[in-house]
Structure 1
Amino acid sequence: MIRELRENDRKAFISMVEAFFNSDAVQHSIPHENIVNTFDEVMSGSPYAKAYIIEKDGETAGYAQISLTFSNEAGGLVVWIEELYIRERFRGAGLGKGFLAFIRKEFQGKAKRFRLEITETNTSAECMYLRSGYEHLGYRQMVLEEAQQGNCSQPDSCEMF
């Protein structure tokens, strides 16, 4: 069963997010404060962030967090699957693939694109996404963290134009 996050999921959600951000599925961990802020943002009814609890046989098996954006390129609403985490003992039971089907149905007729990112080493998740119809994009991702604004890791190639 997949359901929206509830206030009484706080402890389980935070625990699973911490496990996710201390796994090989991501490049680095995040501050605990970020996790709490995300939970609070979802609970506030934000139009940009939603989270779901994935259950199996009455137990919390995992979670997913999505963000909603608008894209000219896609021609409308884009659902970003920010995080999809299944607890280890529930992996291989089709819960991740089940969530992907659920979210497509949930946004059927509304979303123009579903998007996600994975680390290069997360090959098992990559296989699941490919089997579910996702394709690789030719884009190289870039990010600007507010605390690091103006830094360039390759100064010789960072000329202003």
Structure 2
Amino acid sequence: MDIKLRDYMDADYHEFLEMVSSLYSEDLEGQPMNSTKVTSTINECKKNPQKVRIVILINNNEIIGYSILVYFWSNEYGGNILFIDELYVKEDSRSRGIGAYFLNCIEKMDNIVALQLEANTSNKRVLDYYTRLGFEVVGNTQLIKNKGF
């Protein structure tokens, strides 16, 4: 395995869109996804790279996944939290330690004090996986008010 991480490039668009579509077809509890949202995310990354980043996962020069990372300041934690908005590994590359490798790489970033992610409570396999990697459920409950996008 020769895993590399790099930032999204415009040439990745079609494959990135395909992977996002796959993620949302597997995760039926999430919000509906469409190409307009994907394009908005790409544009936000270009406009504010200090806030949003798309990372492409590569193995032997082949794209095998992606992650969308969002930085935000937390007074409670006293620094930047890196929110892993999405992490997707293609099905034929799963169960090979790629997710753990990716999380280990980003955990070493020196401009963050914590990593945060979310998982559907119905997906016990994913919850167990992230727990084994050191993530824990915190006492707060996340609430969101959708403006109807």
1:47-92: CA deviations, max 9, x gaps?
A: 2100111111221110000100001011111100000000101000
Match of residue 58 from structure 1: 61
The 5 A counterparts of 1:23-102 are 23-24=26-27, 26-102=29-105
Match of residue 107 from structure 2: 104
Match of residue 158 from structure 1: none
Cα deviation, residue 24, structure 1: 2.5
Going from structure 1 to structure 2, the CA distance change for 1:77 and 1:100 (only over 3 Å counts) comes to: same
Match of residue 130 from structure 2: 129
Q: TM-score, normalised by structure 1?
A: 0.83
Match of residue 120 from structure 2: 119
SS at match of 1:124: helix
Question: CA contact under 8 A between 1:25 and 1:122: conserved in structure 2?
Answer: no
Output the amino acid matched with 1:124: R
| Deviates most, 16-25 or 32-41 | 16-25
Unpaired stretches in structure 1, ≥5 consecutive residues: 149-161
**Cα RMSD, aligned residues only:** 1.7
Unpaired stretches in structure 2, ≥5 consecutive residues: none
Going from structure 1 to structure 2, the CA distance change for 1:118 and 1:96 (only over 3 Å counts) comes to: same
Match of residue 157 from structure 1: none
Cα deviation, residue 43, structure 1: 3.0
Cα deviation, residue 27, structure 1: 2.4
SS at match of 1:146: coil
Task: State the identity as a percent.
Answer: 26
Output the amino acid matched with 1:119: N
Cα deviation, residue 41, structure 1: 1.8
- Aligned length in residues: 146
Cα deviation, residue 25, structure 1: 6.8
Cα deviation, residue 37, structure 1: 1.0
Output the amino acid matched with 1:14: L
Match of residue 153 from structure 1: none
Q: TM-score, normalised by structure 2?
A: 0.90
1:80-130: CA deviations, max 9, x gaps?
A: 00000001010001111111001112x23x211110110012222222211
Cα deviation, residue 2, structure 1: 1.2
Question: CA contact under 8 A between 1:80 and 1:115: conserved in structure 2?
Answer: yes
